[in-house]
């Protein structure tokens, strides 16, 4: 799998005489203490460079000064910090990501970033350094394993990034769990980026099994076991594919290390359609290649479990992923078929391209029946309708609990993975009633993401539940400060933060 190419370290605030120096500048071109000292040493070169440019010190602005006078460094990069009162952990991460991208585009091979003590930020300099490094690490990700002829000019140049801070041991301590989260993010990005001829139910289950090396208990159920459980909604989706479905159950038992030992587990459930043609209700050919990442929800749950195990999270968590390929063939499910789900409810399948909810219906029921979770959150690239509603900036959040919805929203804001709550109500639920069975798998043309969530809710009992429709946020066509274009792993950091704030604190 792919990994970051930059080596990140922390040391005391002694400026190196080689490589690139990155110096912070506050909004209004106000140099930090280190910047002011360097400005004197260079005869005012930093001030003149700012005055001759449009650089104002606004957040994430960058200005390179090549071969600065009286210094042996190859360049100084001025980094806009913005308003120090607004400089929090999330902003430090964005600064790290933006700086990493700038250094690579400039061809720098080594760089040192001075993290000065500032008045105003709520985060101390050690925490600022750790989060800056985390953002740089997240941005350094590349999925390039299939590129055989890439020129050296297109490859990342930066090999070492050193954070200079007053208390390096504190920064290292704060960075360690963040690096664990990054490992989970990278695993999700890898899985989502792989083509469907490489990642299919059997191989994705095999990837999940690797988590046992970190202490995660992993079980893989095949078709025989699922038939015995009555998971006919799930199995119906995969009956047209040569690749058999797999159901993976992962358990991380970390609560004994924390303050909340003995509570029921927190459950996360992921839709894992490794390729979605739409089945007999086949999709248009244009853009169908994107359906390799219709297993994004499962990828997030697997990556989350890796993140939790990597940082030794003090919470009991179960992760369940339904893995299946939705293909058209002589054995494929037909529009109009009726299946009996694990819950006993019958489902009229009017559209075989509304398949993810069929998988989740059985996995949600299994989760409640076996684990009796305290909270249950599912993630799925479920509907195109959510992209029409929210674009690519927010995931859709549906929940039967105001408290859970508020906590997930807060966690998303803290890590810059935004969600927007959408409605659930009896009026929408009636749109999936049908004369032929207990429920049909699609409504009419209106409120498509809502009726999909209403369908899922029919398989949720008395448990706090949330559904995240991540169809618009799983893949990005443009670079963002901490997220290179491609697979985003949206949801790993959000759910990790939710657990840390509400179950480990």
Q: Is 379 helix (H, G, I), strand (E, B) or coil?
A: strand
Angle, vertex CA 343, rays to CA 438 and CA 192, nearest 5: 100
Segments in 416-471 forming alpha helices (H): 426-429, 448-457
Phi-psi region of 344 (alpha: psi -120 to 50; beta: other; left: phi over 0): left
Catalytic residue, from 58, 283, 413, 421: name it. Answer: 283
Kind and range of the H or E run holding 435: none
Query: What pairs with residue 114 in β-bridges?
Result: 164
CA distance 219 to 221: 7
Alpha-carbon gap, residue 148 to 134, rounded angstroms? 29
Whole-number Å distance between alpha carbons of 344 and 2: 43
Exposed, middle or buried, 460 (CB in 10 Å: 0-12/13-18/19+)?
buried
Distance separating alpha carbons of residues 141 and 298, to the nearest angstrom: 20
Active-site annotation holder among 167, 172, 357, 497: 357
Indicate the SS3 state at residue 234.
helix
Beta bridge partners of 266: 317, 375
- Who contacts 287 (Cβ-Cβ below 8 Å, separation ≥6)? none
| Tokens read off for 296 | 């994004």
- Known catalytic residue at 283: yes
Question: Do 110 and 18 form a contact (C-beta atoms < 8 A)?
Answer: yes
CA-closest candidate to residue 103, choices 147, 53, 162: 162
Handedness of CA 126, 127, 131, 137 (dihedral sign): positive
Q: What whole-number distance in Å separates Cα of residue 35 and Cα of residue 19?
A: 16
Which residues are tagged catalytic?
A: 283, 357
């Amino acid at each position: 799998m792919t990994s970051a190419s930059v080596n990140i370290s922390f040391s005391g605030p002694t400026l190196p005489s080689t490589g690139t120096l990155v110096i912070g500048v506050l909004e209004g071109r106000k140099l930090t203490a280190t910047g002011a000292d360097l400005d004197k040493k260079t005869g005012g070169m930093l001030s003149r460079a700012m005055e001759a440019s449009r650089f104002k010190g606004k957040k994430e602005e960058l200005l390179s000064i090549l071969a600065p006078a009286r210094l042996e460094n190859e360049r100084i990069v001025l980094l806009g910090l913005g308003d120090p009162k607004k400089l929090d952990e999330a902003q430090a991460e964005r600064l790290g990501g933006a700086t990493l991208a700038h250094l690579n585009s400039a061809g720098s091979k080594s760089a040192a970033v001075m993290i000065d003590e500032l008045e105003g930020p709520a985060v101390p300099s050690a925490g600022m350094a750790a989060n800056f490094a985390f953002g740089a690490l997240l941005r350094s990700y590349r999925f390039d394993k299939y590129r055989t002829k890439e020129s050296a000019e297109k490859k990342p140049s930066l090999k070492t990034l050193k954070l200079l801070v007053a208390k390096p041991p504190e920064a290292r301590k704060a960075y360690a769990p963040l690096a664990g989260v990054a490992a989970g993010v990278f695993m999700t990005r890898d899985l989502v980026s792989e083509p469907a001829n490489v990642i299919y139910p059997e191989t994705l289950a095999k990837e999940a099994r690797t988590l046992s090396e970190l202490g995660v208990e992993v079980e893989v159920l095949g078709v025989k076991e699922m038939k015995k459980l009555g998971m006919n909604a799930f199995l119906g989706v995969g009956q047209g594919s040569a690749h058999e479905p797999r159901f993976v159950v992962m358990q991380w038992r970390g609560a004994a290390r924390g303050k909340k030992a003995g509570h029921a587990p927190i459950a996360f459930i992921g839709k894992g359609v490794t390729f979605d043609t739409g089945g007999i209700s086949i999709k248009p050919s244009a853009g169908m290649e994107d359906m390799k990442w219709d297993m994004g929800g499962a990828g997030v749950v697997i990556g989350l479990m890796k993140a939790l195990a990597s940082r030794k999270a003090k919470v009991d968590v179960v992760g369940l992923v339904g893995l299946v390929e939705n293909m058209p063939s002589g054995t494929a499910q037909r529009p109009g078929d009726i299946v009996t789900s694990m819950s006993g409810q019958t489902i009229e399948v009017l559209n075989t391209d509304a398949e993810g909810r069929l998988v989740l219906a059985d996995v949600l029921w299994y989760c409640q029946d076996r684990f009796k979770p305290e909270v249950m959150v599912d993630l799925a690239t479920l509907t195109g309708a959510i992209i029409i509603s929210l674009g690519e900036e927010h995931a859709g959040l549906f929940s039967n609990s105001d408290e859970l919805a508020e906590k997930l929203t807060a966690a998303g804001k803290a890590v810059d993975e935004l969600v927007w709550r959408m409605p659930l109500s009896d009026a929408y639920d009636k749109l999936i009633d049908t004369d032929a069975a207990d429920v049909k798998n699609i409504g009419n043309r209106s409120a498509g993401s809502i009726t999909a969530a209403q369908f899922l809710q029919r398989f949720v009992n008395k448990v706090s539940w949330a559904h995240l429709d991540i169809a618009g946020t799983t893949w990005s066509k443009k670079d963002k400060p901490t997220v290179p274009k491609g697979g985003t792993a949206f949801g790993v950091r959000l759910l990790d933060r939710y657990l840390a704030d509400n179950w480990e604190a």
